[in-house]
Amino acid sequence: MVSDDQWRVRLSPAEFRVLRLSGTEAPWSGEYVSTQTRGVYRCRACGAELFSSENKFDSHCGWPSFFAPLAGDAVRYLDDDSRGATRTEVRCASCDSHLGHVFRGEGYPTPTDRRYCINSIALNLEASE
């Protein structure tokens, strides 16, 4: 298990705030909000494969949105009632870093009717050729 001190060495202060302290980057500020680049999105903390560009869609919410993770066991879910309403937090299953939240039933025309609203700073895009 990696200690907070070790994470502080590996991550920038902004990355640490989001990934380890469950922070959120400002809307429309992340590098992957509007990208159309094809590839695999990995956890910025540990490098685990999390999402595919094939499952990314434009939700106009200010953060990268995906309708499903790359694999069913790539992420884990926690109930989050920190903002006065119950939401579902999404974490990396490999290193337990905070990624964002998943929302259901919003009516987006996707196969899952889910929106994984993920912080860009929690991801690294490995572009495909």
Consecutive H or E run containing 8: helix 4-10
Question: How far apart (Å, rounded) are the C-alpha atoms in residues 26 and 70?
Answer: 25
Distance from the first to the final alpha carbon of the chain: 34
Distance of alpha carbon 12 from the chain centroid: 17
Whole-number Cα distances in Å, 61 to 36, 112, 126: 16, 18, 23
Which of 46, 92, 95, 117 is flagged as catalytic?
A: 117
120: left (phi over 0), alpha (psi -120 to 50) or beta: alpha
Known catalytic residue at 117: yes
Residues carrying an active site annotation: 117
